[in-house]
Amino acid sequence: MSFTTWIGFVVAAIVIALSPGSGAVLSMSHGLAYGVKKASGTVLGLQLGLLTVLAIAGAGVGTLLLASEVAFSIVKTVGALYLIYLGLMQWRSRAAATEGGPRIDADHVPSLRKRVLTGFLTNATNPKGIIFMVAVLPQFIAKDAPLLPQLAILGVTMMCIDTVVMHGYALLASSMQRFFRNPRAVKAQNRFFGGVLMLVGGALFFVKRGGAHAA
């Protein structure tokens, strides 16, 4: 892989990471609710999900998945329903206001394991991620060079970029905690992010397999 090719992938990875999506919404939601430190667990889960999608695409399974209407529909439906579920839980979550900003009810604070799992499932079940990987990844892989080292370089590059961007979203959201010091504002925050997650989940139902060829 040439340096020019790698730079091209860096640009593509930055663009896709900055593009608003379920990962960005989740990072901002957890950053605002729990702070950047705890949102790091969510970001870690997002990267593990991203790595899984990268491995699937790199192994060629993604191409087979896109070729099967049934398999793609299953993944799409699971991903959409999961995001809608997350949005509904966020919408209904209870919170108490404190001087430092919003605080989720202690009985409803998700564990590190749950935050990581939430992030993982959000990216791993996102068909748009699979489409992006299958459509874009091959353009940066040299056919006359070993595949695994190239996948490793691209994977580490994308995960590093996405980690920085998702933490940036979480930091941006956490900096707004001072505006959410009363129960009404906290409730509005929960319903906003919950509604956005449900909208993103609903939008996934309209993702088509042909999107991979149109990219």
Of 88, 62, 90, whose CA–CA distance to 75 is shortest? 62
Contacts for 13 with CB less than 8 Å, ≥ 6 apart: 157, 158, 161, 162
- pLDDT tens digits, one per residue of 55-69: 887 777 666 666 777
pLDDT-based confidence at residue 108 (cuts at 50, 70, 90)? low
Question: Widest CA span of the chain, in angstroms?
Answer: 60
pTM exceeding 0.85:
no
Q: What is the pLDDT of residues 165-179, one digit of tens each?
A: 999 999 988 887 666
What tokens were used for 144? 């006359």
Please list the alpha-helical segments (H only) found in 93-207.
Answer: 112-124, 127-136, 147-174, 183-204
Cα atoms in the Cβ-side hemisphere of radius 13 Å centred on 97:
14
pLDDT score for 182: 60
